[in-house]
Amino acid sequence: MKRLFLTALTASTALTAVAAQAQDSTDPVALDQITVTSVTRTETPVEESTVSVTVVTREEIEQQSTVNTPVGEILGKTVPGFGQPTQNLTEYGQTLRGRNFLTLIDGVPQTNTLNNNYRALNSISSSAVEQIEVVRGATAAYGFGAPGGLVNIITKRPEDGEINYDASAGFRFQPEDVGDSASYNANVGASGRTGHIDYLVNGNFDRAGSSFTADGERRPPDSYGTQGGTDDVDSYNFLGKVGFEREDHRLQLSANYYDYTQDSDWAGVVGGGSIANNTSATPSRGNLNTKKPGIENLTLNATYSNIDVLGSAVSLQGYFNNNTTTFTRTEFLNFVYNQYETESEKYGTRLTIDTPLPVDALPVNLIWGMDYIHDKTVVNDIDAPSTVPDYTMNGYAPFAQLQADLTPELKVTGGVRYEFIDVDIPTHVNELGTTVNGGTVDYREPLFNISASYQLLEGLGVFGGYSEGFQLGDLGRYLYDSGFTDVSQLSSEGQKTESYELGFRIEHGGLLLEPTVFYNESNNGVTYDENLNIQLAPEKVYGVEVNAAYALHEKVDIGGTFTWLEGRYDANGDGDYDTDLGSDRIAPHKITTFIEARPWDIASFRLQSLYSGYRNPDSNQFSGLQTIEDYFIVDLLSRFQVGPGVLSFGVENLFDESYVPVLQQSYSVQSYAYDDYYYVKGPGRTVSLAYSVKF
């Protein structure tokens, strides 16, 4: 397998330890037209950012969607520092720089702050996405939970012209079993601008069949511990937008509805996995579920902006989000666990004011404002009376950020955000039968940041800085698993992360190269021992990311990504970080490569690979007891201009590699015989065909 990896690297002429921001144009490093709002909440060109940020454009999303439709799968294959794809519904185990991240849709939080269900990336179909902005490293730009960074999913924007239509249809299957694996999707949309009004509507339907390993084994629709599967699923996504713009004023209203329902004939007992025998855990016919598992997510958003209010640009956003997630019911060691459902309802506002300051003719801006969020989370036991209380959070945070161009080459930004968070928890009897006295838990956290970029030479820049992020942690886990008797014991359980980074940006000729080193630490990290008991301990994570692309020819680009990180924690409080963090937090090193060719104006071909390395942690954590073996996946993506539209053909796992994703390996602890349930191989070769047209 390693020989195959080296051969593919040579064949693709890609350098190890490189990464890419490949564009459809002949110049893959032309990033000057790409702006992001996720760094400072105002539009900032990528090349002027003082922090690490990756943008996955609409063109890249459409290209990757040939073989990877879930957002988490796309990010795992394109973004350095982002964990390997889980090949399941969950993003648990798919960290950003070794920590949890905050997911937003158009600035609206999707991550469940109070009881993280790790489904936020699966709150929307990639067919409704314009671009994805990933800020790597702790950030408080949007607040309320971004210790590892944030992922801001920007929905599709209206196109110019009175009316524009687009439509697509696709089909995918696995040669192992064409009938049971058959999947198909369809998408239709319309958008335009007329007078002072712009609008967009988009609808998508996807029906996913079963999936099979490279060895022909049927994969479970939801194996124990992976928190949701992607097989035997019907999903719908509807996006609507309307905007009104006149002179300096703009009002935009939008709504996105996503429904994801699993209905499988193979939702029975899972078992038979064995590391020693290299057999994947497989499902049995039947249905353990009381209710069909799935996700229902509604996001409503209203934004008013005015570019000149007493000399300042003002943006006021109001939002609402309701998310209901129904988990699967599982059997483990001859015991069938209850089925749970979480419902989170959020609403809030964001006020952002960008005020130019007259400072000796220097370009200096003060970005300031206030955020408010209300979040109520309910955890329901579908099969019995619930032992988890309702949580209600109210939080607000004033912030101020100063941006200054001290010289044409030197840009500096820094500021503070002060988070005031109150969580109300009623008195309740927990899962252990213990009465837990209710009350209000309050958090008061100032979060600071400072960063800068300096253009050393033409085409050579350096950037770096310090930032802080904060998260509450999983309150539900504390209250029904940790023997708490009073919610006041939670007052100190929040986690504050301090993050440092230093990087370079090199752009010369057809080359883009961005190496970055990072380090982050927290005094109250949340980990789990071999018996799944919570451990709160200081922890640190450090690593290297490299991001590059090179134009070999006006019609040939190469590139890839490299990520290496390690994490350790102080298990006994003696000040010595002597124990490795588990592999659900710290993934093995990851290398992605690609070669893309456009031999004719009507055709393009892309060969891409993902190599996940070997890791043998020295750890007593549950996810750190098992050695992680390496694997190597190659995808083929191609597009052809046929008639009025584009024909896309792709093959995921081109060489039909038999492998087990990192998360499933980390939980397959042989000494506990957990591999019987957890050891589930990834999908084998999958063929995709789609046709899209715009008119």
Asked if 411 and 402 count as a contact pair (C-beta separation under 8 A), the reply is no
pLDDT of residue 535: 67
2-694 CATH, one of 3.40.50.2300, 3.50.50.60, 2.40.170.20, 3.20.20.70: 2.40.170.20
pLDDT of residue 279: 95
198 contact partners, CB below 8 Å, separation of at least 6: 158, 191, 192, 241, 242, 243, 245
At residue 487, does pLDDT exceed 90? no
For the segment 34-67, what is each residue's pLDDT rounded down to a tens digit?
Answer: 788 888 888 888 888 899 999 999 999 999 999 8
* 633 CB-side CA count, 13 A: 27
Residues written for the chain: 695
pLDDT of residue 141: 84
* 8-state DSSP, 671: G
pLDDT of residue 523: 84
Model confidence, pTM: 0.92
660 contact partners, CB below 8 Å, separation of at least 6: 280, 629, 631, 668, 679, 680, 681, 682
Residue 33 binned pLDDT confidence (cut-offs 50, 70, 90): low
At residue 127, does pLDDT exceed 80? yes
Comparing 95-99, 350-354, 355-359, which segment has the lowest mean pLDDT? Answer: 355-359
Neighbours of 289 (CB within 10 A): 22
Residue 638 binned pLDDT confidence (cut-offs 50, 70, 90): very high
At residue 531, does pLDDT exceed 80? no
Choose between 141 and 628: higher pLDDT. 628
pLDDT of residue 13: 31
pLDDT of residue 670: 76
Mean pLDDT confidence for 211-217: 96
Comparing 89-93, 179-183, 297-301, which segment has the lowest mean pLDDT? Answer: 89-93
At residue 327, does pLDDT exceed 60? yes
DSSP reduced 3-state for 79: coil
For the segment 240-285, what is each residue's pLDDT rounded down to a tens digit?
Answer: 999 999 999 999 999 999 999 999 999 988 899 999 999 999 999 9
For the segment 331-344, what is each residue's pLDDT rounded down to a tens digit?
Answer: 877 788 889 999 99
Q: Could you tell me the CA-to-CA distances from 65 to 129, 185, 192, 528 in Å, in that order?
A: 11, 11, 24, 35
pLDDT of residue 434: 82
Nearest by Cα to 372 from 39, 109, 102: 109
At residue 133, does pLDDT exceed 80? yes
At residue 11, does pLDDT exceed 60? no
Residue 30 binned pLDDT confidence (cut-offs 50, 70, 90): very low
At residue 361, does pLDDT exceed 90? no
Mean pLDDT confidence for 529-533: 56
> Looking up tokens 């193979």, which residue turns up?
266
At residue 528, does pLDDT exceed 90? no
Mean pLDDT confidence for 118-136: 94
Residue 590 binned pLDDT confidence (cut-offs 50, 70, 90): very high
For the segment 314-325, what is each residue's pLDDT rounded down to a tens digit?
Answer: 999 999 999 999
Asked if 377 and 114 count as a contact pair (C-beta separation under 8 A), the reply is yes
Comparing 18-32, 610-624, 655-669, which segment has the lowest mean pLDDT? Answer: 18-32
pLDDT of residue 163: 95
pLDDT of residue 19: 32
Question: Where do runs of H (alpha helix) occur along 211-265?
Answer: none
d(CA 664, CA 216) in angstroms, rounded, equals: 18
Mean pLDDT confidence for 644-662: 97
For the segment 412-450, what is each residue's pLDDT rounded down to a tens digit?
Answer: 999 999 999 999 989 988 877 788 888 898 889 999 999
pLDDT of residue 174: 97
Nearest by Cα to 220 from 68, 66, 89: 89
Choose between 470 and 608: higher pLDDT. 608
At residue 12, does pLDDT exceed 70? no
pLDDT of residue 15: 31
572 contact partners, CB below 8 Å, separation of at least 6: none
Residue 225 binned pLDDT confidence (cut-offs 50, 70, 90): low
pLDDT of residue 8: 38
Mean pLDDT confidence for 492-504: 88
At residue 482, does pLDDT exceed 90? no
* 8-state DSSP, 160: S
Comparing 93-102, 215-224, 393-402, 645-654, which segment has the lowest mean pLDDT? Answer: 215-224
Residue 474 binned pLDDT confidence (cut-offs 50, 70, 90): low
pLDDT of residue 530: 56
pLDDT of residue 517: 98
Neighbours of 510 (CB within 10 A): 18
The domain ranges of the chain are: 2-694
| Residue-averaged pLDDT of the chain | 89
